[in-house]
A and B are shown apart, each in its own frame.
Chain A
């Protein structure tokens, strides 16, 4: 390093805070920090958790109402109705899967046959066939 640069750096290094200045600013920063503590990250986290909890609950409730409504609409449907495929392909398949054991299976198949007969009766009453 050449002499000129050393001279320059030497001069620059003399510019610094004096002890009492450094202490005074430190004291003011301390006071400021005490009055302005780090924000509680937990509050934000929990409030967002609460938000998600409510979101999940409302989504579940809405889904339940929607599915129940569709099921009720499909249950009342007859062959040729828009919802009939939901009744036969979705709801009855689920009931079929849920029928436990040979007895349950048999019972469900009997019910299934009764449902078909009831639909036929209804159609006959309505003059569909």
Chain B
């Protein structure tokens, strides 16, 4: 990665991947402010790495890995609150932002599904179908083989279907 282009490359990565990184954080920590903090910290740590002229062969995968490590650090520091607890407190939906309103019901519904999914399946399903990462890209991020990723996607899809069928039925 050449030094003169680092800033441009980094800012472009922010524009391209910040939503995905935020989502990746949010479905795990389930607190919007915390997910925002981790997203910001992910990019700061990545910038620190880049400015030290260290080699990053896949910036997108690197961002996910940094976010993942930060979430693990956070989980170790603080026990994760349950979704029921969050629901009791009131869901941490975003404030009105002109035309960008969440459909809180959909998100609540989604979070309930995710809450009941195995994390390893949830990770790959979101990366594959929401962030549209390739199998290889996912394999690089989670440090597993492409076969393992494919199997997890297959099982994850079954789990999503079952959970949705149950919640609808």
Q: Do A and B come from one complex?
A: yes
CB of B164 within 8 A of CB of A8, answer: yes
A43 to chain B, nearest CB (A): 11
CB of B110 within 8 A of CB of A8, answer: yes
In A1-21, the 8 Å CB interface with B consists of: 2, 4-5, 7-21
B136 within 8 A of A: no
A27 to chain B, nearest CB (A): 11
B58 within 8 A of A: no
C-alpha gap A14/B105 in the complex (Å): 11
Q: Mark B34-60, 1 if CB is under 8 A from A, else 0.
A: 001001100110011011110000000
Give the tally of cross-chain contacts (CB within 8 A). 101
In B14-48, the 8 Å CB interface with A consists of: 14, 18-19, 22-23, 26-27, 36, 39-40, 43-44, 47-48
CB of B53 within 8 A of CB of A41, answer: yes
CB of B19 within 8 A of CB of A33, answer: no
Known A-B contacts A39-B51, A39-B52; A32 and B97 likewise in contact (beta carbons under 8 Å): no
The chain B residue sitting closest to A34, CB to CB, is B7
The chain A residue sitting closest to B33, CB to CB, is A21
CB of B94 within 8 A of CB of A38, answer: no
What is the predominant secondary structure among interface residues of chain A facing chain B?
helix
What is the predominant secondary structure among interface residues of chain B facing chain A?
helix
CB of B51 within 8 A of CB of A12, answer: no
Q: Which residues of B contact A8 (CB under 8 A)?
A: 110, 113, 125, 129, 160, 164
CB of A38 within 8 A of CB of B3, answer: yes
B157 within 8 A of A: yes
Q: Which residues of A contact B48 (CB under 8 A)?
A: 36
CB of B7 within 8 A of CB of A25, answer: no
Q: Which residues of A contact B94 (CB under 8 A)?
A: 18, 21
B98 to chain A, nearest CB (A): 7
9 contacts between A and B (CB under 8 A): A4-B160, A5-B157, A14-B107, A15-B102, A19-B100, A22-B18, A32-B44, A33-B10, A37-B51
Closest 5 CB pairs of A and B: A11-B110, A4-B164, A18-B97, A16-B19, A38-B51
Instruction: Beyond A8-B164, A14-B107, A29-B11, list 4 extra A-B contacts (CB 8 Å).
Output: A5-B160, A15-B27, A26-B14, A39-B53
